Structures are given as structure tokens and as C-alpha cells.
Structure 1
């Protein structure tokens, strides 16, 4: 089981690594769903930890439909991240019709320069997620999709999550389940969905508050539980 944890600063990154995280999603503006962090933070985080650092590339929180200028901004961010020591980027873009914006992907993915790519929760606004997963599978740089299998909590979408996991099997894109996950409910969630990667944010922070620091005890208990199968 791969455990990915959101980090918003160097202290988060260090705490996450020390308490069982396998990978970081580095962001800023956590209350807006995550935006691109500064390149200084990105470089420092990549130096500070040994686990992979995946960096959010999202220029604003207005929508997942991006203008030409937005795409150019994202391109510059990806170029800088590719030279930062980070292991991956987290991107996503939709058309005004609510489909995956393949033109944006075709502009951005060639710039990743060996970075792994996660397609983020823009995926959850798709009407047909199985078709969307097949579309993403056409791009070898994209290794996973972060999804709650719908607009709500992942824990309320177990049948849909299971369908995505089954569709992904044998393909190049894995399912990273996230949004609304609770440490206490992981065993049945994993058993019922078959997911192999989990994404945690506020649930492993003090008071389950997204603006609070990561709670080392809560994260360690979660990571130990996942490793023991409990």
C-alpha cells in the first residue's frame, strides 16, 4: 500500500517522511484544493526528504478549464519543477464541455522530462470516468489518477471506486484514492475497492484541520495500520 500525504511546508514534509508517508503531494492554498507552491519551497522539499515529492501544478482555483495564458503558466512551472529535484507533478485540465483537455495535456506532458504525472481531482468532474480513465491511459507519462470516484467523499463512492480499480488493472494508470478518507475506516475501504494507493490530507492533521500541522501520532498510527493490514 502506498500512502501519499499532502505537505504545505518543509515541516510537513519532514513530519510526513518520519511517520510513514511513502510520497508527498506538495501544494500551497490547501483550503482551495491545492495550488502550485513556490519554486523555492519545491526545491527545498526535494532536498529535505528522500521520499518522492509530487508538486501540484494548478494556477488558480476558479475552475479546471484553463485559458491559453493559464496553460503557458503551467508550462513554465513544469519546466522549473523538472529541474528542482522533485519526482513528479500533479496536473489536470478539462474542456468547457467537461471532458479531459487533451490539447492541454499534449502541450504540457512533453515538458515533464522524466517526471511521473498524477492527474488530479479534475477527474471527479467528468461525467464518464471510465472513458476518462481510458483517455488518460493513452499518455505514458500519466501514472495515476487522484480521485474520490465522484463529487463527494471517496468513502461514499465504494462501488464507483471499485469499478475504476477494475478498469485500471492491466493498464498504465493506477488509482490513487483520496478526499474524505478516514484512518478508522481504511480496512473495509481497501478490501471493498481494491485500491493500492491512498491520499491523505486533513485527516492526519491536528484536529482534522487542513490548516493545522500534520499530527505525527495520527500519521504513524495510520501508516502502521496499513503496513500490518489492520
Structure 2
């Protein structure tokens, strides 16, 4: 059960870790949708991180359909990050109604480990795209709302993906719509492998909602322990 927290700087890296985050996603301008962070911030966050840290690769906060100019900018970011020792990225782009496999393979060819972001939800057939993503060993996880406005309303679709014949690629629910009150039944119904806490886990000021995050992570820990105690689910082999 992975609790991933989206962070913007090294202070938030430490705060998220103290709240029990299992992994972190570093972005810039989260309020506007998130774009690639600068190298100085990345370096400070990598120094502070004690858990897996992934860096967002996104040239701007436009949609996930990349025309040629955005593709070139994305490739430049990949090259820059690789040359500065970055190996774990979060990324996603679509072409027509499927994942942009060419751009994904460019990232993998560089040698990156790749987490797939909500671009996944903009594909036409989630099952087809999930199964194809699962064929790439360097793809580590997929974040989704089940092709819905909130993870709560998309929980049936998430459950379908989790219970496919090849559930070796972890699925994280993006936390929109999830609260300490509905998280436990959501986890039980969907069977999701983790939750990514982004903008909806923050105050209007942009700072972490500590009570919300600590409560949700605590619920996830209890849920994971109850699963282990009951031996009701075969453990997933996470690919970190």
C-alpha cells in the first residue's frame, strides 16, 4: 500500500516523510497542474529524500496530447535530467486515443524508470493501455481516477483494472474525492495498490493539510495491516 505525496521543495519532502509518505513526486506549480521542476530544486530534494523520489517531466500545463514542439521540449528535458543524474521520472502523453508509445519508449531508452501520470485517464481504453504498459519493465506504476472526475466515482473502473489477470503493475488512485471518511471503504472496494496525494491534500494557501494527510496515511496503514493479517490478498510485487 503506497502513500505517494506530491511535493514542490525540500521542506515539503521532509514534511511528507515525517507524515509517513512511502514515495514522493516532485513538481513545480502544482496549483496550475504541475510542470517540470528546476535542477537546483531537484538537487535539494534528492539530498533530503529518504524514500523513492520521482521527478515530473512535463514542459507546460497544457493537455496531455503532445504536438511536435512539445515533444521536442520534452526530449530536451529528458536529456537534461539524465545528464544530471536523474533516473526516476513521472511522465505521460497521449497520441490520438492511446498512450504516446514512441515518446514513452524514448524515455525508457534513455534509461529512466517511469511512473505514468493522469495522461493514462485520457486514453480511450484503460484496460488495453494498462496491459500494454505492464509489458514495459521500466514502467513502475500508473496513477488513475478510473477515467472519472474523482477517484471515488471511478472506483469501479479502478477495481476492474486491479483485478485483471496481470496485476503486476501497481495502480495508484489520485486522491481527488477521497477523504478520511470515505477512504477505507474505497480501499476495500477498489483494491487499489496506493494513493497519490496531490492538490486536494492541501489548504487553499497551498500548504499541506497535515490533519488530512496524516489521517489518510494512517487509514492506509491500518488497511494494509488488516489485509496482511487476514491473508486475503496475494501480495503485489512492486517494481521499485
TM-score by length of 1: 0.88
Q: Could you tell me how far apart the structure 2 residues matched to 1:84 and 1:18 are?
A: 27
Shift of 1:143: 1.4
Tell me the CA shift for residue 8 of structure 1: 1.3
**Aligned-pair CA distance for 1:18:** 0.9
Match of 2:221 in 1: 227
Equivalent residue of 2:163, what SS?
helix
Equivalent residue, structure 2, for 1:109: 108
**Are the aligned partners of 2:175 and 2:195 in contact in 1 as well (CA < 8 Å)?**
no
Contact (CA 8 Å) 2:174, 2:195: kept in 1 or not? yes
How far did residue 79 of structure 1 move?
3.4
Structure 1 position 88, deviation (Å): 1.7
Q: After the TM superposition, which residues 136-151 of structure 1 pair with which residues of structure 2 at under 5 Å, given as runs?
A: 136-151=133-148
TM-score normalised by L of structure 2: 0.85
Q: Is residue 2:159 matched to residue 1:162?
A: yes
Aligned to 1:9: 9
Q: Is the counterpart of residue 178 in structure 1 residue 174 in structure 2?
A: yes
Question: 1:81: Cα distance to partner?
Answer: 3.1
How is 1:114-133 mapped onto 2 (pairs within 5 angstroms)?
Answer: 115-133=112-130
Tell me which residue corresponds to 1:54.
54
Per-residue displacement from partner, 1:177-225 (whole Å, max 9, x unpaired)?
114122321110010010121111234323xx3x521133332222222
CA RMSD of aligned residues (A): 2.0
Distance 1:175 1:218 in 2: 22
Counterpart Cα distance in 1 of 2:218 and 2:86:
26
Can you give the 5+ residue segments of structure 2 that lack an aligned partner in the other structure? 227-240
Give, in whole Å, the separation in 1 of the partners of 2:91 and 2:46.
Answer: 18
CA 1:179–1:204: 2 relative to 1, 3 Å: closer
Shift of 1:33: 1.9
Structure 2 residue matching 1:212: 3-state secondary structure: coil
| 1:204 and 2:204 aligned | no
Where do 4+ consecutive residues of structure 1 move more than 4 Å?
83-87
**1:49-80 per-position Cα deviation (integer Å, ceiling 9, x unaligned):** 21111111011122212233422322332334
1:123-158 deviation digits (Å, cap 9, x = unpaired): 111111101112212322111111101141011111
Unaligned runs of 5+ in 1: none
Q: Distance in 2 between matches of 1:26 and 1:34?
A: 9
Partner of 2:233: none
Cα distance in structure 2, aligned partners of 1:23 and 1:85: 19
Give the secondary-structure state (helix, strand or coil) at the position aligned to 2:51. Answer: coil
- Count how many residue pairs are aligned between Structure 1 and Structure 2: 223
Q: Which residue of 2 aligns with 1:98?
A: 97
Query: For residues 157 and 62 of structure 2, what CA distance do their matches in structure 1 show?
Result: 26
- Aligned to 2:5, the other structure's residue is in SS state strand
